[in-house]
Each structure stands twice: as structure tokens, then as C-alpha cells.
Amino acid sequence: MDNTNSIIKLEKVSKVYTQGRESLSVLKDSSFEIKAGEIVALVGPSGSGKSTLLHIAGLLDSPTSGQVFMNDRDITACNDKQRTEIRRHMMGFVYQFHYLQPEFSALENVIIPQMIAGVSSKAAKEKSLSLLNDMGLQDRAEHRPARLSGGEQQRVAIARALANDPRLLMADEPTGNLDPQTANGVFEILMTRVRGQNIGALIATHNMDLARRMDRVLTIRDGVVCKVD
């Protein structure tokens, strides 16, 4: 593979789950990479291994065999503490459900991950306000999640994912709970931010219309990651 500007690369990754005497092979010798500014769609039916692939690429799980590189560094054997640091400073995550903290405002939800990463409260607040403004939520910053619409909640979740300037964004059905019009708006914001900040992105989706608007479309067939023509 060409490593130029490669953010993340998986080489011959396999994942086998074992329970007792039973083994289930989910991924088999799968390889792909994502470069800076590249948005890659991951499609496929439920149970095909999309979530497993996202978890391995997002350092939430380890492959049974194969290697994971980030910025050309082999991070396959990193321990839990090292993985946490990499996720905190280099990755952002957006899920189908926003997972905002209900007792905190939209602004506070975006501030919190920055302070965990060591950013001062003043700097975190300034950046959070700027992100929410970019998301069109400047008038909703002090509202708690329960007072926000589904689209607004997901835009806050995107702002939170981008708060620590990740190099890689992982998204699992980020528009899955939204109506088509709202989903399109949220997707446009996500695309604009990813390209504007030169982030690599891996986005799992069942929406083929959205998938075809990304740079590449991958799927998993019989455990192997392959390109969709």
C-alpha cells in the first residue's frame, strides 16, 4: 500500500471470537488504509463485521492476527493506557445514538472531552462555542440534550467528536436515527468539517445514497474487506 499521508492502515487483519469449543471468524486477512482528508464509507448487512472492523480501527478491540498502523506507527501491541491516549488525542467517535450527557448543556458536553485531555477551561469553552457556532447551534449552547431535536443532538455529538482535533473520525450510523432531510443536513456538516480539517474518516452506514457521496465505499464479504464498484 502507498503510505503517503496515511492516517490509519490495517494489514491482513483477522478477528476470531472463541467461546468454549466454538470459534467464529468475523474478519479474514483484511487490509485497507485511510488517508488525510479521505472519507471512506463502510456498508454491509448487519452481522457482516462492520462494528468489529470499526472497533479494531478505533482501538476498542484487538485483532487476532495482523497489524494496525497509525501515522506509520505499529500500534497493534499497545497496552490499554496507550490505546486510551491515542483515542483521546487522535480519534473522534460519532455513534447512531448521540450519547450526550443529559445533565450537561450542549456547550458542556463539548467542553468535557477537552478538559479530560488537559485543555484549560477557558480555551475549551472558546473552542466549544466556535464549534457549536459552526454547527449552527450558537443559540442552543446552553440547552440540555432533552431540549434539542434529534438533528441538533447529533450535531452536538459531531462537535464533541471534533473538539480535540482528531486525525481520524470513526462514525457508526451517524444519521441512522434521523429523518432523510435532517440526515442529509447532518451529513453535509460532517463532510465539510472532515474535509476542512483534513481528517481521515471511516463512516459505517446503511444509506447507499450517502455512501456514494464519499470518496470510496468498502464492504465486508465473507470476512474480507473489499471495494464496492
pLDDT digits (tens, 9 = 90+) for 31-86: 999 998 899 999 987 778 888 899 999 998 899 999 999 888 899 888 889 998 89
The Cα–Cα gap between 58 and 52 comes to: 10
The Cα–Cα gap between 19 and 172 comes to: 26
Sign of CA dihedral 131, 137, 139, 141: negative
Please give the C-alpha separations between residue 5 and each of 52, 70, 89, 92, 167, in angstroms, as whole numbers: 25, 10, 18, 18, 11
| CATH assignment of the domain containing 117 | 3.40.50.300
How many domains does the chain contain in total? Answer: 1
pLDDT for 158-183, tens place per residue? 899 999 989 999 988 887 777 787 78
Inform me whether the pLDDT recorded for 217 exceeds 90: yes
pTM: 0.85
Strand ranges across the sheet with 91-94: 91-94, 168-172, 200-204, 39-43, 216-221, 224-227
Residue 209's domain spans which residues? 6-227
Residue 1 covered by a domain: no
Residue 212 covered by a domain: yes
